[in-house]
Structure 1
Amino acid sequence: MEALYTDDQIFIPIISDYGFKATFGNEANTLFLRRALQALIKSDVPIKEVKFDKNTFEGITQDGRSGIFDLSCMDEKNNHFIVEMQYGDAPYFVQRMKFYALHKFNAMVKRGKFDYGTLTKIYCVAILVNDILPYPPFHTVANLRNEQGEIFDDQMTFITVELDKFTLQEFDCQTDLQKLIYTMKTIHTVTQPTQFPKFWDEEWLKIAIDELDSRKMTPDEKASLEILIARNAESVKAESRKIKEAEQRKSLEFVTGLLQQTNFDINKIATLAGVSVDFVESVQRQLAKQ
């Protein structure tokens, strides 16, 4: 899914640093954020207020330069919401979600002087562009459960959205969650108002869409946007290169071990390691020089 802004696009992608902050991080009007959170956690109870917690992850989270955009907020009942937008590859996103949630949990316990009975709920939401989980639903809600699948504890809830798995068309979108994900996937592809689905007239979505309308930006704002998105695109590529290099090192170690410890032929080693025969031969040559 391409999220880069180009001159012929009217709307900025939500799945960009600027778009995420302009919609989910809109402090002037939180209606979109409140309805989005309610949809993401599958709650029937409206969220009346949100207060942004700006200092929670200062110094420990990554910012837009790595393709990871985060926000933290609380509702009127002091339930905590951590939202992460991940544009690039996310091989360790589950561990990162646990880190975020447990950091918040520890902070809550300390503030309450170790009174576990005062703990409110923590919702950790990850919105991922790419497929990560090995099953088909685009929306996953996870809690601590027992062997029978019954809730063991629901104080911490992990929500995952994988945008690539969402395939519903406009006329199939009935719930707020479906409307939200459809908007996130398509808003930056719209070039004419006639392409608007009817539900984009709903106030909560209209607020977000208006924030993404590049026609309403000043020249300075537009220039800043283009610089920001270009920087994010480069950092996503750099992140992908790092992951590819790590995979190559892992393959190198595996192939080296097979060459040194087995009598397997080159073709078998290539198959086992999932690499090319040329790669195995290059490793073999390097070993011969040592």
Structure 2
Amino acid sequence: MEALYTDDQIFIPIISDYGFKATFGNEANTLFLRRALQAFIKSDVPIKEVKFDKNTFEGITQDGRSGIFDLACTDENDNHFIVEMQYGDAPYFVQRMKFYALHKFNAMVKRGKFDYGTLTKIYCVAILANNILPYDDFHTLANLRNEKAELFDDQMTFVTVELDKFTLQDVDCQTDLQKLIYTMKTIHTVTQPTQFPKFWDEEWLKVAIDELDSRKMTPDEKASLEILIARNAESVKAESRKIKEAREAENLAVKTETVKNALFMGLTVEQCATLAGVSVDFVKSVQQQFTGK
């Protein structure tokens, strides 16, 4: 995803590194984070306090944005939350979520909690700009279940939010989750206070919106924002190139294997080219390799 913020915008997008850290990572006032986490996990129990954790995963796995997740914290009951915002394509994001959660699980056990019955819960939350799951809903909450879809264990919960699937208008937003996702998708598009939905007057959202108001930033803060945006744009482009190159290499391997199998079956060069969707010259080059072997 390209840089989302331009000089003529009033509000910085939440779905940017700067916006995410200013809102979800606001250590001075955690009201927004606490209500957001409660909304993500669809809990009726308020989260009274959160404590930010050190990024213990840093250096284990790196991605195109120089970190493997954006935020980790625990609540007053020692439940663990891992939250990441992903802008670009994420073909293996489910596997990454499992890695984060299982690493946190292992770390909990190593700290001496060998009575597995006393282990607290782990919530792994992924906020994605693009779609990765074959479901219509923008919010997916998953636990370990049996073949009848009955709950097997809820010590680990995986939460996925796919922003592109959210299509509600402000007047249709009733729950905190809906209000949160609407805000994340639209705050940076607002240019006049008259465009504010009524629920933006709710204190937990006002805390976040105030942090995103570029008019309140000092010149140094604005300069830091521009530098961060430029760095992120380059990182995302680099990551996109890697994904594109990997897909092209995989596609080439599939076509090569198709041609080899077709030649082995006795098809003509022209038939092989049509079957694999490649040129005759490509088939001949594969044929030379095939014959040489």
Q: Same fold by TM (over 0.5)?
A: yes
Q: Aligned-pair RMSD on alpha carbons?
A: 1.8
TM-superposed CA distance for 1:147, in Å, is: 1.2
User: 2: distance between equivalents of 1:32 and 1:38?
Assistant: 10
Counterpart of 1:199 in structure 2 is: 199
Counterpart of 1:259 in structure 2 is: 259
For 1:265, what is the secondary structure of its paired residue?
Answer: helix
The answer to whether the 8 Å contact 1:67/1:232 transfers is no
* Equivalent position amino acid for 1:198 in 2: K
User: Which deviates the most, 176-185 or 231-240?
Assistant: 231-240
TM-superposed CA distance for 1:66, in Å, is: 5.5
TM-superposed CA distance for 1:154, in Å, is: 0.3
Cα distance per residue 1:50-104 (max 9 Å; x no partner) = 0000142232254772586511000000000000100111011100000000000
TM-superposed CA distance for 1:284, in Å, is: 3.1
Q: Summarize the Cα distance change of 1:40–1:69 in structure 2 as closer, same or farther, 3 Å threshold.
A: same
Q: Spell out the pairing of 1:45-64 with structure 2 (5 A cutoff).
A: 45-62=45-62
Counterpart of 1:273 in structure 2 is: none
Q: Spell out the pairing of 1:98-117 with structure 2 (5 A cutoff).
A: 98-117=98-117
| Number of aligned residue pairs | 282
TM-superposed CA distance for 1:243, in Å, is: 0.7
Cα distance per residue 1:124-172 (max 9 Å; x no partner) = 0000000100110000000000111110000000000000000000100
Q: Does 1:268 align with 2:267?
A: no
User: 2: distance between equivalents of 1:209 and 1:113?
Assistant: 40
The answer to whether the 8 Å contact 1:67/1:86 transfers is no
* Equivalent position amino acid for 1:283 in 2: F
The answer to whether the 8 Å contact 2:272/2:283 transfers is no
* Equivalent position amino acid for 2:37 in 1: L
The answer to whether the 8 Å contact 2:55/2:71 transfers is no
Q: Spell out the pairing of 1:56-75 with structure 2 (5 A cutoff).
A: 56-62=56-62, 65=65, 69-75=69-75
Counterpart of 2:162 in structure 1 is: 162
User: 2: distance between equivalents of 1:64 and 1:29?
Assistant: 29
The answer to whether the 8 Å contact 1:17/1:64 transfers is no
For 1:11, what is the secondary structure of its paired residue?
Answer: coil
* Equivalent position amino acid for 2:154 in 1: D
User: 1: distance between equivalents of 2:286 and 2:273?
Assistant: 14
Cα distance per residue 1:166-219 (max 9 Å; x no partner) = 000010000000000000000011111111111011000000011011111111
The answer to whether the 8 Å contact 2:82/2:125 transfers is yes
Counterpart of 2:135 in structure 1 is: 135
Identity over aligned pairs, percent:
83
User: 2: distance between equivalents of 1:102 and 1:82?
Assistant: 11
Counterpart of 1:284 in structure 2 is: 283
TM-superposed CA distance for 1:287, in Å, is: 3.6
Counterpart of 2:231 in structure 1 is: 231
The answer to whether the 8 Å contact 2:64/2:238 transfers is no
Q: Summarize the Cα distance change of 1:281–1:70 in structure 2 as closer, same or farther, 3 Å threshold.
A: farther
The answer to whether the 8 Å contact 2:129/2:164 transfers is yes
For 2:70, what is the secondary structure of its paired residue?
Answer: strand
The answer to whether the 8 Å contact 1:70/1:85 transfers is yes
* Equivalent position amino acid for 2:276 in 1: I
User: 1: distance between equivalents of 2:210 and 2:276?
Assistant: 56
User: 2: distance between equivalents of 1:12 and 1:285?
Assistant: 54
The answer to whether the 8 Å contact 1:142/1:158 transfers is yes
* Equivalent position amino acid for 1:241 in 2: R
User: 2: distance between equivalents of 1:282 and 1:127?
Assistant: 45
Counterpart of 2:125 in structure 1 is: 125
Counterpart of 1:9 in structure 2 is: 9
